[in-house]
């Protein structure tokens, strides 16, 4: 009989599992804390649990773990971790350093099916969804080496295409008996899966980031196929309806591409599009990569776009590229995976 991986379970799920095998539900909280606050990788480490129960658990259940196969470091301190999964597939996570608030960018799928034209990850297609355990184990592995203050689901894959694993992972990350991250410190990104946005918002309290990247359906559908299924009108209505706690906003991600979406007219349209819901804008100059047909905008275009948003009282940040030389920048994950493995 296949063992149950306890890292696939939220605290509520673990309580139900423990009760189902005839044990006291309070044991679940003990185990949960060992997993995520003390990073236990075996039941034997759980010293406040009886030896008999530990042996019983070891027969029925398992604790999965991930260890990075490759770690690359960029000059700016960004680190990219390659994790080999049990079935031989691989995913990557990126740690972006910032004094006192390191951000870990984690993956939710092996590859991505969304096919956004500016994203290198999308050229690999999607192999499968990650399990909840595979998602949270990325966090466990990096936290052993570095402090992590923020989590962003912006790695490989479309998180909202894997809500069955992502929602439990968010609950584990934010559970006071789990990782103990504030829900203000966890962000889930989407390219615009409208029904799933509502499902996410009703299932848990989490920050939402939406990849907009264009101000007309004509352009957006060229670079983001999802726009043909959920055009801007539907996407923006979903943003307006998304349940936000007081004084919270939706992050609008906007990848700037030279001569495609970087004009002052685009900036003017963007201000109008996001005017009816609380938002802040992340401008992301396109990160060029081998084989890309797009180019990074000029600094003049970026500055002009940024200034227009500021002048219209839009909260805006132009994100500096981090980890580009190790293909860890936005849209570059898995870019040099094959090459690194061949070197080993």
Q: Which of 191, 204, 239, 330 is catalytic?
A: 330
Q: Which of 92, 158, 196, 288 is catalytic?
A: 92
Question: In whole angstroms, how far apart are CA 146 and each of 80, 181, 197?
Answer: 12, 15, 31
Contact assessment for residue 284 and residue 324, using Cβ atoms and an 8 Å cutoff: no
Per the annotation, the verdict on 92 as an active-site residue is yes
Q: How far apart are CA 32 and CA 179, in angstroms?
A: 9
Per the annotation, the verdict on 145 as an active-site residue is no
Q: Which residue has the tokens 């999308």?
A: 122
Q: How far apart are CA 224 and CA 232, in angstroms?
A: 11
Catalytic residues: 92, 330
């Amino acid at each position: 009989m296949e063992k149950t991986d306890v890292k696939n379970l939220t605290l509520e799920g673990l309580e139900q599992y423990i009760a189902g095998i005839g044990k006291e539900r309070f044991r679940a909280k003990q185990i949960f804390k060992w997993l995520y606050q003390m990073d236990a990788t075996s039941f034997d480490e759980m010293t406040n649990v009886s030896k008999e129960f530990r042996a019983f658990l070891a027969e029925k259940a398992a604790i999965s773990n991930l260890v990075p196969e490759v770690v690359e470091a960029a000059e700016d301190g960004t680190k990219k971790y390659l994790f080999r999964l049990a079935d031989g597939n691989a995913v990557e996570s990126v740690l972006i350093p910032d004094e006192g608030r390191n951000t870990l960018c984690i993956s939710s799928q092996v590859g991505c099916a969304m096919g956004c034209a500016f994203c290198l990850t999308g050229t690999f297609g999607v192999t499968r969804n990650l399990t909840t355990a595979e998602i949270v184990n990325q966090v466990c592995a990096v936290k052993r080496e570095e402090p992590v203050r923020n989590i962003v689901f912006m790695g490989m894959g479309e998180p909202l295409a894997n809500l069955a694993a992502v929602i439990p992972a968010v609950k584990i990350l934010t559970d006071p008996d789990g990782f103990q991250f504030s829900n203000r410190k966890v962000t889930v990104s989407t390219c615009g899966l409208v029904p799933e946005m509502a499902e996410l918002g009703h299932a848990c309290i989490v920050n939402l980031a939406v990849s907009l990247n264009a101000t007309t359906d004509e352009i957006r559908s060229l670079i983001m196929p999802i726009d043909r299924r959920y055009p801007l009108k539907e996407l923006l209505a979903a943003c307006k309806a998304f349940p936000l706690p007081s004084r919270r906003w939706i992050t609008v991600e906007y990848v700037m591409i030279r001569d495609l979406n970087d004009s002052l007219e685009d900036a003017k349209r963007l201000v109008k599009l996001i005017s009816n819901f609380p938002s802040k804008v992340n401008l992301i100059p396109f990160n060029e990569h081998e084989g890309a047909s797009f180019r990074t905008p000029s600094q003049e275009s970026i500055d002009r776009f940024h200034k227009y948003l500021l002048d219209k009282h839009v909260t805006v940040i132009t994100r500096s590229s981090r980890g580009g030389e190790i293909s860890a920048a936005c849209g570059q994950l898995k870019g040099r995976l094959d090459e690194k493995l061949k070197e080993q």
